[in-house]
Structure 1
Amino acid sequence: MLQKKYVFGCASGLALTMAAGGAFAQAQTLPGLAAAADSNAVSELVVTAQKRSERLQDVPVVVTVLTEAKLEANNVRSVSDLVTLTPGLTSTTNGSEGTTIARIRGVGNVADNPGLEDAVGLYIDGIYRPRNGVSFNDLGELNDIEILKGPQGTLFGKNTIAGVIQITTKRPSFTYSALGEATVQNYNGYGGSVSLTGPVVADKVAIRLYVADRERDGYIPVVQAPTTHIPDQNDEHVFTTRDQLLVNFTDDLDVNFIADYSRRRDHCCVAVDYQNGSPATVQNEVFPGTVPNPVSPRNNTAFLNRSTLDLITDQGISAEGHWKTPWLGNAVLTSITAYRDSKENTGGDTDGTLADIIDTNPATNFTRFRQFSEELQYRGSTARLNWQVGFFYSHELLDNGVFLQNGPALGPYLNVLSAGALPANGFPAGEGAMDTFHQREHSEAIYTQEEFKLTDQLSLIGGLRYTWEHKDLNSEYANNDTANTCANVLQAATGSPTPIPFSAFGNFSKAIFGTACLVNPAFKGLNTTQSLDEGALTGTAKLQYKFNDEAMVYGSYSRGNLVGGFNLAEVTTPFGPGGAPNTSLAPQTDTSFPAENVNAYELGAKTQWLDRRLALNAALFFQSYRDHQLNAFTGTQFVEFTIPEAQTGGAELEGAFAVTPDLTLNGGVTYAETTYPSDAKNKAVLQAPGSELFLLPGSRLSYAPLWSITLGGSYKHPVTEGWDGFVNVDAKYSSSYQIGSDEDPNKNQPGFALVNGSVGVTTHDKRLEFSVWGTNLFNQFYKQTAFDGVLQTFSTPPAANPGMNNYYAFPGEPRFYGATFKVRFE
């Protein structure tokens, strides 16, 4: 029904947009519409959404463009700051900044498992970043950011089945200038940046240097034991530098070299208890006062026996060269070569209570990516044809260490939970699950996209891409269980006088023996190797009609691919015939999952009105996903589910209006109807015996609000001789949505609005600027992600009986406010 509804809606929408275009062509002759001055027009935006410079209004793709002025007005320094400015974009941060993930039109995945790659492709200065989370640092001086919505599998390749975030920083200039910025804010925050650009050799060599350092205390207070000293959590300690060297070898050849380095040393990211069931009562009987009970649903205080710690180092070098060749009408050859190295160490109080039950150590819990990539692009044009071909290669090494460590309180806690069946000394402190993973990936792709101008107004765009993917994984499991608790419990349950053989673990269910076998002896000493080879053909076909320079309509089909991979976790086989994955105690040595594919359809119109004072762009879309990758947390582990079908469809509208030369308004609306179809294929997977996701068929996708609305305005006006005053306000409303993977009603985030704003003064030449600003001005409390409490989930599956669970969430950022002073030298 959803597909039929959107096919009908898209056909109707195409008729409406074509009628609007025709009406617009006539409206230009009406009196009064031409009265507006050209200087009051909405700024003409140039984008590279098709890897060539084009007017935004000429590009048959839904693109939200955030200009330098917009980014500065909203103090945008990382990808997570884009959410308030972009309809249809959501972002969440889970257990660390490295698990921050972006979603577009309700489509994305959960980043806690590095084996899953992101559905939203992230490019910074043309360089593909394999995971979103490594780029949530200070990005430096930004030129603009383009958010491309919908699959972009032809030009941007694999892992763009939801869209692309394309960030462009400022390049070196051959005009001397320098900028100093200092900021103070609440939570004892302070920081600043310094940048310098200019020629080293006139017209031949130029540099741009950028350095920034920012500090802020945490915003989540901690209840802790009297002998501990845990600071408020979710603080910020960031240092970054980004240095560039531009060399013009000839008039036709230039190369820009970039070296960047970022370091974070944060106490992040901590979850808080917001709803309690019977586990809170039990735990407080064993360890009084270690869990808040009762607890407020708006609780923003953590109960911890040790601090979280998130250590991130992200660095890289790159070279981007452009050569205007003497062939094919001076076609341009572009080469982008890069090497990146990103490492994150995380640790903290895993159970989130004052009792030391389960924890992780940053010395042994880490994720490291090392990536080399090369992309070649060759593009040119004739009177009737715009063409480009390309090649992409990447080689990635991924190392991941996971050590879930027993705390001294684990044994006594499980002893009480089991009514004495589990010995209090059965889980020695310091032991636990110790797993390491080493993955090697090679990816190659060739692609082409052409635009044929059938007439001066009608164009046909077609593109194809073929991607080869190879992955190798070595997994080493070193579980340590000297007390043999699991084996002893299994023997007692079966009456067997001898140790349970390895092969018999498939006969036991996690639902019954999972707590006793928290450290599963079947994985002890297990080493596995796996290999995966995939090939994928993706592409697009678009038909575009231009009424004139102010009105255009288009229709498109796109196919995208999100590469398959391996679940980097202790995965077990289904329990019983037809059971859900990961429900027995027997190791599953094949942890692979298939690629996800999408077929997407879009109808759009881009128009300008009132002598280009008003720009309105609209689109209808429908996207159908096969083998959707979902990573779900069950209270004790992450489980990868491959869901046969998922869908999203809806409409988008974005616009900008230059009301006067001083006042500009902008806004956008995304309506996204997402669903897991309630058909036989989905039910067979999601409602198999033992499945944690039995509520998903017929439900909406997680983290996917039905409505996403942005509204903003910018006003600037002279206040005195030589000085201008300015005011900027931006707001984002999201309707209610699910913030868990299993559609548990207790993990619903009600609709909420965030408002950012700034007010200040600047000289006409922008040499001096002072502003006061705020984000989340009304201090809206909201939750980013909710999950079942670690070892505090007694219901199986968790959503079946919420009263038997404790619930935790990662809160969103509170109100931040501060003042910024800038000084420019030119």
Structure 2
Amino acid sequence: MVTAQRRSENLQKVPISVTAITAAKLASANITTTADIASITPSLTLSQSQGSIEPRIRGIGNSSAGPSVENSVATYVDGVYIALAANSLLNLENIQQVEVLDGPQGTLFGRNATGGLVQIITKDPKSTFSGNADVSYENYDTTRLGLYLTGPVVNHLDADLAIYASHQGDGYGTDLANDKPTYKTDRDIALRSKWLARFDEGTTVRLAFDFSNTASSNPGFSTVAGLQPVFGKLSPQVISTIDTHPYDDDDNNPFIHRVIGGGVSGRVDQVLGPVTLTDIAAYRRVTYQQAFDADGLPTQIVQQSFTLPEEEITDELQIAPTHAGKLQWIAGLFYFHDDGAYDSLDTAIGAPPAQTQTISTPDFTTRSIAGYGQATYEILPQTHVTGGFRYTYEYRTEGGSAGAINAAGVQTISAIPDASTHTSTPTWRLALDHQFGPDVLGYISWNRGFKSGGFNPTVVSQPPYRPERLDDYEIGEKSTLFNGRLRVNAAFFYYVYKNIQVNTFLNSLAVIYNGAEAREYGLDASFDFSLTRDLLITGGVVPLHDRFSDFPDAVIATRNGDNTTSTHTGSATGNRLPFAPDATASLGIDYKRTIGPGRADLFVNDLYNSGYYGQPDNFLHQGAFHQLNASLQYQPDNSPLTFKLYARNIVDNHVAEFLSVGTTGTAVSFEAPATYGFTVGVKF
């Protein structure tokens, strides 16, 4: 059962390309955070930029983070939109289900869902006391603890509490300049509690509270192998180890990444005879701190740091019929308010006493309101037509101050001129589906999504970037064969993508600008096959053809004779989109068997990725790779205990999740190397 149309429906009856991952499958695959979901979802790739998660679906996403910068793939938790990318790194201790919706979601999930969305649904509290706890230990001296408790508080009021904590003692690499660890998560703590009250007269109220605190040097950044920084030369030691030890770097200032955030949300469902009113309101605040060496060398040349506080308020009011009929519909209003700023964006150049600094404290405000409605009607037996429409108005402002401090400590600070921009945009969905027998559904659809424009938060002198728009033309099928043992879902899609928001880097600061147009087409297919009662085989494949059809003024990087890089403006027409592989495929085996006085569950999954480019110039490339994961769980009969062995990235591929060329040189960071460990869990 999925909620891709904001109501609970059977996955095979929904005319949308959806991947649904249940809590049981998350446990079998040893998936503990949103960053791991991509390993069993071929249409989804997940990378990180400066500690922020950046999802892409079918090659659509973006590589920028900052105040009031949102992703083209939206993240929702229990219907609440999570705007700041850093706050999307969520643990999965209390998850009921994860749904990945492919393609633009411009009607029911209209908030910047150009590429699609990741929807996380948490468990509701229960009226009987129960829970589970687990402890894990893995290589790199990593310890993880998880706890989930639920039960009644008073009559008609239930609550739960989920706690997650981890600590990594050793980093994946070493900073050769100061012998400090790199790619190390010192702490990752998260707490979440949900309260559920049921009243008479058809009223249900849910309140949720969450808090997270993360401190790490993960990910780290280093110069791409074979290239040199702009400001100097790498040492022979670094050059000789950069291929075999890519997690090492040679920076005099270590990468520092801290996030403290949390929020509260409430949902009220009120049955009013033939209709149900739902209101979902939320408040969130996150403070995001970072410091890093921007020159890639062990000398003090360019050091950058910032503090980014951001808060958001959302409120969504929905009305829908209480009971299903030939006409299914939903209508609503959505309000979004975001205040983001850099308390201090500091770039220090040189070393004392000759050090100078540039300082900016820009602030940004976003206000948006949207009205939407969608209806599905059975026009003929087993034939349905769906129409949806959303109209969004958005207003953004920019202000603050910027300036410099010279070597003598004299400040020259001036106000950033107040500026504003607004967008009024319609988006829609049109679809036709037919049930060809009880087990085969076919559908065609046209979906339009958009992502609003905005201001460049890191380099305020750059012009605002314009809204992007994506039209998705899709034909798909969902079939269940062999008495339910085989499920095959597939969709062919064709994208027309305009004013694409891409990024470059000026002095290691991300700048967003627009590419004119791209075309993309491909197949998104998945299957589940119960070969026997105890053996489930799953898989999927996403071949993809994507090209910029018009991009005359892209930022193009070139290699100089001394292996440094420089950039200029040129054409990227005909190039591939960033982080869009030509093909991804996955194959998984889930085998359960009775062994002695207990039950064993073996899960093995291989994800293949054909490789991708980091930016529109197609200068830096990550080659093809496999990611092989496995877990073996054993639960004795009549015992609350479970024991699990697991391994991720077994073949130890070094996969670049961030690739960039800027005015200070190149930068790359990598996904985790091979990790393995064991977990002991208990249910009560």
> TM class by shorter-chain length?
over 0.9
Q: Which amino acid aligns with 2:482?
A: L
- Residue 593 of structure 2: aligned partner: 717
- Residue 558 of structure 1: aligned partner: 447
Q: Secondary structure at the match of 2:37?
A: helix
- Residue 377 of structure 1: aligned partner: 318
- Residue 569 of structure 1: aligned partner: 458
- Residue 560 of structure 2: aligned partner: none
- Residue 174 of structure 2: aligned partner: 222
Q: Secondary structure at the match of 1:269?
A: coil
Q: Is the 8 A contact 2:219 2:670 kept in 1?
A: no
TM-score normalised by structure 2 residue count: 0.94
Distance across 2 between alignment mates of 1:665 and 1:640 = 42
- Residue 561 of structure 2: aligned partner: none
Q: Secondary structure at the match of 1:720?
A: coil
Q: Is the 8 A contact 2:505 2:663 kept in 1?
A: no
Distance across 1 between alignment mates of 2:493 and 2:539 = 19
- Residue 160 of structure 2: aligned partner: 208
2:601 to 720, 723, 726: 726
- Residue 388 of structure 1: aligned partner: 330
Q: Secondary structure at the match of 1:82?
A: helix
Matched, 1:253 2:203: yes
Distance across 1 between alignment mates of 2:556 and 2:682 = 61
- Residue 42 of structure 2: aligned partner: 87
Distance across 1 between alignment mates of 2:229 and 2:163 = 48
Matched, 1:292 2:251: no
Q: Is the 8 A contact 2:278 2:319 kept in 1?
A: yes
Q: Which amino acid aligns with 2:317?
A: L
Report deviation, 1:481.
3.3
Q: Is the 8 A contact 1:283 1:290 kept in 2?
A: no
1:598-629 deviation per Cα after TM superposition (whole angstroms, max 9, x unaligned): 11100000000000110001110011111111
Q: Secondary structure at the match of 2:574?
A: coil
**Residues 299-378 of structure 1 mapped to structure 2, 5 A cutoff:** 299-300=245-246, 301-326=248-273, 329=274, 331-361=275-305, 365-378=306-319
Distance across 2 between alignment mates of 1:291 and 1:403 = 31
Distance across 2 between alignment mates of 1:781 and 1:346 = 24
Distance across 2 between alignment mates of 1:68 and 1:258 = 19
Q: Which amino acid aligns with 2:268?
A: G
Q: Secondary structure at the match of 1:231?
A: strand
1:512-561 deviation per Cα after TM superposition (whole angstroms, max 9, x unaligned): xxxxxxx9x9x952521111121111111000000122101000001111
Distance across 2 between alignment mates of 1:537 and 1:598 = 12
1:745-770 deviation per Cα after TM superposition (whole angstroms, max 9, x unaligned): xx111100101110121145672110
Q: Is the 8 A contact 2:176 2:250 kept in 1?
A: yes
Q: Secondary structure at the match of 1:780?
A: coil
**Residues 154-169 of structure 1 mapped to structure 2, 5 A cutoff:** 154-169=107-122
- Residue 235 of structure 1: aligned partner: 185
Report deviation, 1:250.
1.8
Report deviation, 1:360.
2.5
Q: Is the 8 A contact 1:550 1:609 kept in 2?
A: yes
- Residue 563 of structure 2: aligned partner: none
Please say which structure displays the higher CA radius of gyration: 1
Report deviation, 1:113.
4.2
Q: Which amino acid aligns with 1:308?
A: F
Report deviation, 1:648.
1.6
- Residue 390 of structure 2: aligned partner: 465
Unaligned runs of 5+ in 2: 558-565
1:16-70 deviation per Cα after TM superposition (whole angstroms, max 9, x unaligned): xxxxxxxxxxxxxxxxxxxxxxxxxxxxxx0000000000001011001111111
Higher strand share: 2
Q: Which amino acid aligns with 2:327?
A: L
TM-score normalised by structure 1 residue count: 0.78
Report deviation, 1:251.
5.8
1:483-516 deviation per Cα after TM superposition (whole angstroms, max 9, x unaligned): 89xxxxxxxxxxxxxxxxxxxxxxxxxxxxxxxx
- Residue 773 of structure 1: aligned partner: 646
1:437 to 351, 362, 368: 362
Distance across 2 between alignment mates of 1:445 and 1:761 = 50
The alpha-carbon distance between structure 1 residues 160 and 402, as it changes in their structure 2 partners (threshold 3 A), is: same
Q: Is the 8 A contact 2:388 2:430 kept in 1?
A: yes
Q: Which amino acid aligns with 2:74?
A: G
**Residues 449-528 of structure 1 mapped to structure 2, 5 A cutoff:** 449-482=374-407, 525-528=414-417
Q: Secondary structure at the match of 1:675?
A: strand
Q: Is the 8 A contact 1:675 1:699 kept in 2?
A: yes
Matched, 1:283 2:232: yes
- Residue 48 of structure 1: aligned partner: 3
Range with greater deviation from structure 2 (373-382 or 50-59): 373-382
**Percent identity (aligned):** 27
Q: Is the 8 A contact 1:391 1:447 kept in 2?
A: yes
Q: Which amino acid aligns with 1:618?
A: A
1:468-495 deviation per Cα after TM superposition (whole angstroms, max 9, x unaligned): 11111113111223589xxxxxxxxxxx
- Residue 422 of structure 1: aligned partner: none
Distance across 1 between alignment mates of 2:583 and 2:358 = 42
- Residue 267 of structure 1: aligned partner: 217
- Residue 148 of structure 2: aligned partner: 195
1:713-733 deviation per Cα after TM superposition (whole angstroms, max 9, x unaligned): 111111123x10110111110
Distance across 1 between alignment mates of 2:193 and 2:347 = 39
Q: Secondary structure at the match of 2:259?
A: strand
How big is the alpha-carbon RMSD for the aligned residues of Structure 1 and Structure 2?
2.4
Report deviation, 1:303.
0.9
Q: Secondary structure at the match of 1:293?
A: helix
Distance across 1 between alignment mates of 2:375 and 2:292 = 52
Q: Is the 8 A contact 1:651 1:670 kept in 2?
A: yes
Report deviation, 1:811.
1.4
The alpha-carbon distance between structure 1 residues 296 and 310, as it changes in their structure 2 partners (threshold 3 A), is: closer
Report deviation, 1:382.
5.4
Tell me the number of residue pairs that the alignment of Structure 1 and Structure 2 aligns.
673
Report deviation, 1:236.
4.2
1:130-159 deviation per Cα after TM superposition (whole angstroms, max 9, x unaligned): 133312132431101000000001000131
Q: Which amino acid aligns with 1:408?
A: A
Unaligned runs of 5+ in 1: 1-45, 410-424, 485-518, 572-586, 794-806
Distance across 2 between alignment mates of 1:232 and 1:633 = 23
Q: Is the 8 A contact 1:712 1:730 kept in 2?
A: yes
Matched, 1:594 2:450: no
1:630-672 deviation per Cα after TM superposition (whole angstroms, max 9, x unaligned): 1112565433221111222111111101111111111110111
